[in-house]
Structure 1
Amino acid sequence: MLHDPNHLYIFDTTLRDGEQVPGCQLTTVEKIEIAKDLEKLGVDIIEAGFPVSSPGDFQSVVELSKAVNDVIICALTRANENDIDVAADALKYAKRPRIHTGIGASDMHIQYKFNSTREAILERAVAAVKHAKKYVEDVEFYAEDAGRADLEFLAKMIEAVIAAGATVVNIPDTNGYCLPDQYGAKIKFLKEHVKNIDQAIISAHCHNDLGLATANSIAGVQNGARQIECTINGIGERAGNTSLEEVAMIMKVHQQSLKVGTNINSKLFTHISRKVSEMMNMPVQPNKAIVGRNAFAHSSGIHQDGFLKHRENYEIIKPEDVGLAEADIILTARSGRHALKHHLERLGFSLDKEQLADAYKRFLDLADQKKQITDEDLINLVKVEA
């Protein structure tokens, strides 16, 4: 599979891994609406579901395949023929189908999940890829729990599945176990020790159990991964998946050093983040990077003053780059005169130095009593002055 080494493929699994969160199930109609937004956003691959898992998931993959034109539609399977047959059937209308099959790679999974041996697991992995290849050209293989797998065995498995026809090899940190340098070293080892690695794209699929999913994914890219599997708002099982918006903005901010780009239109992030949050009934934490309510809110006086003098003092991303109208200067008891002056001017009031000093004293008394200062409060402050 030919690919541009400077392009990072964004594999969105909001509708598959993201939807596995209890209480977040979507209808097929809702999935199609989100898929169309993901297509506009510029993702390269949409993982539409796990067709064998339920009739609803099967139907969603069928309908998403019809609804989406330019994006690769991917269906998940386990390493058995029936799963793969069902996935191929669900993908029959996809313009660009991909089957995503795989099996456990760690000794923990081999022994306690499959009650098997390395040799037998290797055979199953190769057989699954070969079977999937009968249906589609684009086959992705996941080595589950690669984060805890023996490196030599993992390299052997990856080499074998690429030889069997895998076009993408997914190295999941299934339990969010790795530190960034460990995950990066794992990708580097595969790049250097798998002799046919240049015939496939390496994919990073990291979970956030220790809050390291994004850091691990970026470490993967720095060491040769060229696909990241992620979700809107970082939703997913347990502590969630790598966050799509974080990855895309890291690539944008650090374009010069990472030398890798995406096709993502970041101006759509605020819209799609809110839509996914509402449809899945999953609130976004206020301090969530990029899309959280407070991500562009400045409330400390020192920050506000620096921001108002020159926004880049405290902003590495412009709010309009992610679809927000402007940054918020939030008034709290820690806000300074500069922030108060900014808001009063916004409301049409121009105070001299002395008037501002008086208003600021009253403002601090009020801010100590109230959690949130409204425009109405500010107007009343100035009326007292008058």
Structure 2
Amino acid sequence: MNSEKIEIFDTTLRDGEQVPGCKLNTEQKLIIAEKLDELGVDVIEAGFPISSPGDFYSVSEISKLVRNARVCGLTRANKKDIEAAAEALKYARRPRIHTGIGTSESHIKYKFNSTREDIIERAVQAVKYAKSFVEDVEFYAEDAGRTDNDFLARICEEVIKAGATVLNIPDTTGYCLPEEYGAKIRYLKENVKGIDKAILSCHCHNDLGLATANSIAGAINGARQIECTINGLGERAGNTALEEVVMIFRQHKDLNLHTGINSRMLNNMSGMVSDLMGMTVQPNKAIVGANAFAHSSGIHQDGVIKNRETYEIIDPADVGVNESSIVLTARSGRSALAYRFKHIGFDVTKNDLDFLYKEFLKVADVKKEINNEDLHVIIETFSRKIV
């Protein structure tokens, strides 16, 4: 079976920037946008043009810069938003307007004080108006995760008739379980007339820690675009992490799904976004965390030294990390110690190692982690004792 492509829609510069304290200036956004284009993302959501003059300017400048990816601007379902997005995107080689409205009962009743019929009408009018400016129009059904499937199918059908090319099915509150979200995508795939004219897209939030799992479930059930951010940045608990979905498809080739992302850029991309946004990546973050390829348990270290694949399913080089790291702690074993000694230029015999390991444990019980300087001190202590 031929592998199908999952388009990667990166919203680091829009949803990712909504994290408190992560505000970027235009120069910083341009740096990230250029690297995202080089990374191979299919769509860059550059911002929300109506939200501020600064955001409008940034979207406009990104539109001029990006050469390969589609450049997308977010709007609400009203004419002023759409006009602002169209103006900001006028220099883009491949512009996309992303417009939509809330569709759950909660949004319809409390946010809009409206009715289902009115919401459908507003959605259709917004898509039609956006279509008058650009060919590529994405519609988002906000809070689709908590929207009744029958109504969601109705609104999707109507916006496809109005010209929508992409249907974004957001789990806005991160509520869904993977099986539930996957079933929602499958229901739309099977029940929306004209669905072959549009791409289904996943936009999942991480409130329950399920954003990536839900996005993968969506893709397995027929979605062909995933909306995500570098490092999983985003509103509240964050969004689907780009680096996670990319590597999941690489590792699970049996899914017959792939992306166009240059995975060897992922580690550097993560670090750059972290530095520019001032958001530290948690050490145990999948794929790009400092500990993602670090081993401190003696059992794990022994296995990795003998064959990396015993405890690593990803070659670090595939995501731009030079090599796995053997971290020496009181939990480390003799093989790890010998490995690190060799790494700094000391080949030690088995008999030597017995003494060195005892000295190592004395230091390791005091310090959290043993560095190369500590190893040199241990070797010097050993040398003095055998003279």
The TM-score, its normalising length taken from structure 2, stands at: 0.98
How is 1:246-285 mapped onto 2 (pairs within 5 angstroms)? Answer: 246-255=244-253, 257-285=254-282
Shift of 1:70: 1.0
Q: Kindly provide the CA deviation profile for residues 44-94 of structure 1, in whole angstroms up to 9, marking residues without a partner as x.
A: 000000000000010001000001111100000000111101110111100
Give the aligned partner of residue 34 of structure 1. 32
Q: Which ranges in structure 1 are unaligned for 5 or more consecutive residues?
A: none
Within 2, Cα distance between the matches of 1:88 and 1:351?
Answer: 68
Shift of 1:129: 0.3
Shift of 1:385: 1.2
2:160 equivalent to 1:128: no
Within 2, Cα distance between the matches of 1:147 and 1:66?
Answer: 35
Give the aligned partner of residue 177 of structure 2. 179
Within 1, Cα distance between the matches of 2:188 and 2:377?
Answer: 65
Three-state SS of the structure 1 residue aligned to 2:44 is strand
2:149 equivalent to 1:151: yes
Give the aligned partner of residue 12 of structure 2. 14
Aligned length: 382
2:165 equivalent to 1:167: yes
Shift of 1:376: 1.0
The answer (yes or no) to whether the contact 1:140–1:169 under 8 Å persists in 2 is yes
The answer (yes or no) to whether the contact 1:10–1:228 under 8 Å persists in 2 is yes
Q: Kindly provide the CA deviation profile for residues 90-135 of structure 1, in whole angstroms up to 9, marking residues without a partner as x.
A: 1110000000000001011000000000000000000000000000
2:68 equivalent to 1:70: yes
How is 1:280-291 mapped onto 2 (pairs within 5 angstroms)? Answer: 280-291=277-288
From the superposition, tell whether residues 5 and 306 of structure 1 become closer, same or farther in structure 2 (CA, over 3 Å): closer
- Residue type matched to 1:147 in 2? G
Within 2, Cα distance between the matches of 1:278 and 1:94?
Answer: 27
Within 1, Cα distance between the matches of 2:93 and 2:314?
Answer: 36
- Residue type matched to 1:328 in 2? S
2:319 equivalent to 1:342: no
Give the aligned partner of residue 299 of structure 1. 296
Within 2, Cα distance between the matches of 1:177 and 1:254?
Answer: 25
Give the aligned partner of residue 364 of structure 1. 361
The answer (yes or no) to whether the contact 1:5–1:226 under 8 Å persists in 2 is no
The answer (yes or no) to whether the contact 1:146–1:173 under 8 Å persists in 2 is yes
Within 1, Cα distance between the matches of 2:347 and 2:3?
Answer: 55
Give the aligned partner of residue 316 of structure 1. 313
Q: Kindly provide the CA deviation profile for residues 213-264 of structure 1, in whole angstroms up to 9, marking residues without a partner as x.
A: 0000000000000000000000011000000000100011112x11011110
Give the aligned partner of residue 103 of structure 1. 101
Give the aligned partner of residue 330 of structure 1. 327
Give the aligned partner of residue 188 of structure 2. 190
Three-state SS of the structure 2 residue aligned to 1:272 is helix
Task: Provide the aligned C-alpha RMSD in A.
Answer: 0.9
Out of 198, 216, 220, which is 1:222 matched to? 220
Shift of 1:353: 1.0
Within 2, Cα distance between the matches of 1:64 and 1:348?
Answer: 49
Give the aligned partner of residue 141 of structure 1. 139
Shift of 1:5: 7.7
- Residue type matched to 2:89 in 1? L
Within 2, Cα distance between the matches of 1:379 and 1:69?
Answer: 51
Three-state SS of the structure 1 residue aligned to 2:158 is helix
Out of 41, 44, 49, which is 1:43 matched to? 41
Shift of 1:195: 1.6
Q: Which ranges in structure 2 are unaligned for 5 or more consecutive residues?
A: none
Q: Kindly provide the CA deviation profile for residues 286-311 of structure 1, in whole angstroms up to 9, marking residues without a partner as x.
A: 00000000000000000000111111
- Residue type matched to 2:136 in 1? D
Three-state SS of the structure 1 residue aligned to 2:258 is coil
Within 2, Cα distance between the matches of 1:119 and 1:374?
Answer: 66
Shift of 1:158: 0.5
- Residue type matched to 1:207 in 2? H
Three-state SS of the structure 1 residue aligned to 2:365 is helix
2:78 equivalent to 1:80: yes
- Residue type matched to 2:301 in 1? Q
- Residue type matched to 1:148 in 2? R
Within 2, Cα distance between the matches of 1:5 and 1:361?
Answer: 53
**Identity over aligned pairs, percent:** 65
Within 2, Cα distance between the matches of 1:304 and 1:48?
Answer: 43
- Residue type matched to 2:286 in 1? A
Within 1, Cα distance between the matches of 2:3 and 2:262?
Answer: 20
Within 1, Cα distance between the matches of 2:181 and 2:70?
Answer: 26
Three-state SS of the structure 1 residue aligned to 2:314 is coil
From the superposition, tell whether residues 5 and 380 of structure 1 become closer, same or farther in structure 2 (CA, over 3 Å): closer
Three-state SS of the structure 1 residue aligned to 2:4 is coil
